[in-house]
Chain A
Amino acid sequence: MNNLLEQFLSEARDFLQGIAEKLMQLENEPNSTELMVELFRFVHTLKGNSGLFDFPEMTRVLHASEDLMDAVRNGRVSYSQTLADQLLEAMDFVSALMDEIELTGKTGSNHVGTSTELTNALRALLNAPSAVHVPVAIETYTEDGLAVKAISWSELPPMDLPESTAMGLHRCAVDGETVLWLQYTPEPECFFKGEDPFFLIRQIPDVAWRHIILNNTASTLAEMDVFSSQLVFQLLTIASTEELDDLLRYVPDQIHRVKVPALAFVKPTGNSDDVALDEDFIINILEFFDNDEIETLTNTINTMLELSSPELWSSSALRWILHLIETEPDNKPVQRTLLEALRTQKTPDWSALTLPDVEPTQNVVASPVVSVNISEISDTLLVYFNEVIEAQKEILSLPASSGGAWSAGRLKAVGATLIGCYRAVQRANEVEHIEDALKLALTENSPTPLLIWLDNSLLDTHEPVLVEDHEQHEEHLVANHLAAQTDAKSSRRPEEIGGANIVAASKTLKVDQDKIDRLMNLIGEMVVAKNALPYLANRAETVFGVRELSREIKAQYAVINRVAEEMQDTIMQVRMMPVSFIFQRFPRMVRDISRKLGKEVELVLEGEATEADKNIIEALSDPLIHIVRNSLDHGLEMPEARLAAGKFATGKLLIRASQESDRVLIEIIDDGKGIDPDVIKQKAYEKGLIDESTLERISDQDAVNLVFAAGFSTADVISDLSGRGVGMDVVRSAVEKVNGTVGIESERGKGTRLFLSLPLSMAVTNVMIIESNTQIFGVPMDMVVETVRVPRAHIRTIKQKQTTVLRGRIVPLLSLNDLLAKSEPQLPNEDDEFATLIVRVHGEHVGILVDDFRETVDIILKPMTGILGGLPGYSGAALLGDGSVLMVLNPRELI
């Protein structure tokens, strides 16, 4: 991957994030021109950058997004929820493409479909000024104001295929191959983009028929603009869709595809001015046909063909009949219609027999728009529609009892009813075909054409789909409505997030994290090396007896010390990141999840500018997501339940970050139903986490804390969001890994408050050095509550466990030598007192007996790696100033 691409990917992700943020903000202030302009700028730049590379799908979607944003910015299209959804979806797609590019360095052609869909959906919004509720007619795809009409196969221009080619294509279509009619209209300025439409069109394989049209607008040759494409290519091909997608991936919006059904090729050609076939012959073969004497029929036709000139229309029709009998032996209506057509010498109107087979052509917004149209039909209407159609069928199948006088009127009545019905369900495009079928029926004085049409069309109307569409649409509306309410309320403080990371881009230097880490390690070593100087000064004085030198070394040490500390401080600052880095994903996440759950949630973020070390921030990300999901899924109730409980329908989720001395405090507060301690107790007991006696005496707060126990889950059903066994215990261990603590408070019916407390930085740890069994160890200062000296007389043994009473509280005492599996007893001082370190472990105070206390030092704690990494009792090791190694204990694991 080259540098340019790498830079593009890294910038593009920033842009995507910025776009998502701006969209979220726009939901709160839909009329803010400033935001709109900013958003447009992001999309515009991103599109421009993507154009440098060979990612047509990405550029296309971004281009459509840009056009849409441009329209919004200029007030031609109003901002709406749908628009935001569509844009977000488009950005998700772009993001997915970028993931792929990062992995493989390119994008596959399999994205063409999605990108075209997205582009069309975006373009559709461009044409609907007030978004959703204006039903867009089928043919309103425009790019530059030109309406491109969806063409059904029956409206295709005549192709004058030779009979053999037509028969071949017909056979292909009958055999299930897709025969596509393809029209490629290159954009006029395509030559300037280095495209050669003619070369492209020549790459298409399996072309059965081709045509080129020149739309020369210039009146004289001199005026002709040779560098503006005026060509239109049309062809028929049986190439596979994948192949075509791949070939035409750069120009899908200039391609028009229509799937041509087999019947469209059944078109006898020839000279029809000559005498028509003998009526007797036609009656004869019709009789054979009706009696299913196919062999006699083919023989007769073959004889006839030998007798008549092959150029005649009727000869061609007869050959077609033979071809149909061979390829589609079961398609009797078609064969019969063609036989009857021998009388009129005209190709039957096949479109009256089948529904126009409009393939969702590439550049036509067919499916989503149609579903809007259709879904406006109510269920009841649909039921009536079906009833009426059934009734018409019955009428048509009645025997023509009272002579011909009635039947014509009956047919007309049925025709009028059908036209009315189809108009009522917004399928006016069928009217033509009904009329055609009616005309045919009237001329033949038989109900058959109408019946055939009805049967075919009913097969193709997909009634169940209509109903489904309708329901989906309603759900969609409800969801939209709910979401609109939710999102309008989810608030962010714009002044804090005002694109801080993007606006300041020009002053920001992007540095690889590895380099910072390296710098950090070097400074760590420097601090240790610096700490060796006082030892050196000491030696100069005591060993070599040069007091003067010792003093100079000490003075120099003071200078180096100051510089080193400043350096250390600065590098810490570099590594600091605002918590907004993880907070910024919450608005979108909360929006998506709450919409999915049908809940209304107002998300409030506070203290996003609070900073902490990058490692801490990164370690926080997953636990926080888990907690927020939990709150949304289990904490907040459905709107109805909330109203019933006398709360606002909209739940409130507050995520607040703040700094408390050298720790970051993050609180996640919801005003949901809270945690029921009784339920927790019961569940914990059922799962064997607590025994019966604990069940009896456990306090409510302690019960709530049980949610952090491993293997605990209250969810009976595994849902999309929670209940997968990755519980709060994972959250706790993740937080504890970075020396953090997690706590929970909950009041039934009022809500839950979860709080995480984390160190600002992991880089420098303040430890207390203790001595035990002639070795020294470090203990992190943040765990040490106090140090006391306990006289031997005050130590009581309860059930073989040593305890003492400290300020009226019983504190269990543990010997460090015991904990480290050494047999030596702890050494008391001259007054027979034991040095005792009181540490806080899981909220309880425990005394650790050691031999002696030493000073506290700042060290750079290095976690142990390799085999030693598996030792749970140590949190790491550090170098001391004299070059010795200090093992730092982890009392939490040790006890």
Chain B
Amino acid sequence: MAIEYKKSQAIFNEFIGVEEAEALLEWLQKNPKGKVNFAECTHIHASSLQVLMAIKPPIAAEPNDADLAVWLNIALK
């Protein structure tokens, strides 16, 4: 499972593929206060990225991947 949905956090694991977008959107709508945790994430497919950009959820942890961190910083600020 690429995204693990906990009670108040969505944990992004490594590579997030195109199929995650719909579930992510649903979860973020249901859990408006839900945080996202990118720590272990290396890449997010553009479809999920645009969901994140539309909602801009609070971030629990930034990605360890430096390049992705720069991009997410720009996209989600």
Contact = CB atoms under 8 A, between A and B. Distances in A.
A210 B71 contact: yes
A212 B45 contact: no
Interface of B: 18, 21-22, 24-25, 28-29, 43-51, 53-55, 67-68, 70-71, 74-75
Contacts of A697: none
B29 A198 contact: no
In the complex, which of the residues B45, B50, B75 has the most CB atoms of chain A within 10 Å of its own CB atom?
Answer: B50
A191 B68 CA distance: 20
Nearest to A214: B53
B11 to A, nearest CB: 19
Contact of B67 (A186, A202, A231): A202
B46 A199 contact: yes
A226 B17 CA distance: 13
A762 B47 CA distance: 66
Contacts of B45: 196, 198-199
Contacts of B67: 202
Contact of A221 (B43, B46, B55, B70): B55
Interface in A209-258: 210-212, 214, 216, 221-222, 224, 226-227, 229-231
A186 B54 contact: no
Given A196-B46, A221-B54, 5 more contacts: A191-B46, A198-B44, A198-B49, A202-B68, A226-B21
Interface of B is mostly: helix
Nearest to B43: A199
Contacts of A231: 46, 49-50, 53
Given A191-B18, A202-B67, A224 B54 contact: yes
Interface of A: 186, 191, 196-199, 202, 210-212, 214, 216, 221-222, 224, 226-227, 229-231
Contacts of A210: 70-71, 74
A197 B53 CA distance: 15
Contacts of A202: 43, 67-68, 71
8 contacts: A197-B46, A198-B45, A210-B74, A212-B75, A214-B53, A221-B54, A226-B21, A227-B18
A406 B49 CA distance: 62
Contacts of A221: 25, 28-29, 54-55
B47 A229 contact: yes
A197 B50 CA distance: 11
B47 A191 contact: yes
A344 to B, nearest CB: 32
Contact of A211 (B21, B43, B68, B74): B74
A214 B50 contact: yes
Contact of A216 (B21, B48, B54): B54
Nearest to B56: A214
A212 B25 contact: no
B74 A212 contact: yes
Contact of B25 (A191, A198, A224): A224
Shortest 10 CB-CB contacts between residues of A and residues of B? A198-B46, A226-B21, A214-B53, A212-B75, A197-B46, A196-B45, A198-B49, A226-B47, A216-B54, A231-B50
A226 B25 contact: yes
Contacts of A226: 21-22, 24-25, 47-48, 50-51
Contacts of A214: 50, 53-54
